[in-house]
Amino acid sequence: MLQDSFATRLVAWQKQHGRHDLPWQVRDPYRVWLSEIMLQQTQVTAVLEYYARFLQRFPDVAALAAASVDEVLALWSGLGYYSRARNLHKAALMVMEEFGGQFPAQREALQRLPGVGRSTAAAIASFAFAQRETILDGNVKRVLTRCFGIAGFPGEKAVEKQLWALAEALLPADGSQMTAYTQGLMDLGATVCGRKPACTVCPMVDGCVAAQQGRTHELPTPRPKKAVPTRHTVMLLAQHGERIWLERRPPSGIWGGLLSLPEFADSMALERWLECMGQGDVLPSWPELEHVFTHYRLIITPVPARLDTLAATGVQESAGQWIPLQQALEAGLPAPVKRLLQRLLA
């Protein structure tokens, strides 16, 4: 029965075929935690460069806690899901203030940190402290649903509850195997049991329900399809000399806390705003730019404008600021805004 041999097979496979050269494969809980937050909904290849830069600037949790949120967001710019960066900073402060600068070893305590859910806390506890805790991220859900023939969308509460129970039952009895076991779960899902599984090299193939029944294409059960809505916005690239007007977005929501271009529902609203700011010219719109979020598509119409003179009483400075264009590119910006400013500079 696969359940009885699952952990033994996985550990043996990981030691021979798994990944052993990732920079966060260490016992340091700070480095493990940092990597786990970055790897949430992001591929390893995209994280490697950001991870190295973060460690160079923030070598430990004390350095991260001492930094400003703006510094953290600037380094995070381009990695997406910016709430992770804000939570990263909040969690660093919490580790310093509530845990004396030391990460707790228990999953339940780790889960108190902002941005750390059950699976992420389990990964930190397993890798850094060899705790017998199971992870259950997207890769693991794919492995378990296929190996054990579990139907139903894994995001549904009932299915997820079933997967958590199974994942806990599969844990090796020997805590010293936890690092290899947990890494093996990640490696198997990322390198073998992907969307197009390589069943011939999988250590579970002779006991895998999906492989034996020809169901790898249908498991895990996909999310019920919903129409992805499309939203439209007009973004203004207002220049005064060598400076660009940027506004700080609200702390929550899309691109929370980042500097961004002012947005308008239509060109008339944009022109009224410009009239309040001063005198100048609105230039022809650039081609539309599409940016895809998890739940909707955003179509951006970029409108450049040059202001020759500023009004004495324009838009309140608290709503935004004029920033030298080159300096703006070094700040924490949403990825599409950064692309627009790079084009403007070019």
Please identify every residue annotated as catalytic: 36
Contacts of residue 334, defined as CB under 8 A and 6 or more positions apart, other chains included, come to 77, 82, 255, 258, 260, 291
What is 182-203 written as a DSSP string?
HHHHHHIIIIISSSS--GGG-T
Asked if 24 and 31 touch (Cβ cutoff 8 Å), the reply is yes
Asked if 340 and 328 touch (Cβ cutoff 8 Å), the reply is no
| CA terminus-to-terminus distance, the chain | 62
CA–CA separation, 282 vs 275, rounded Å? 11
Residue 346 carries which DSSP code? -
SS3 of residue 234 by DSSP: strand
HSE-CB at 36 with a 13 A cutoff on CA atoms is: 33
Q: What are phi and psi of 56, to 5 degrees?
A: -65, -40
State the Cα angle at 296 between 292 and 300, rounded to 5°. Answer: 60
Residue 289 carries which DSSP code? E
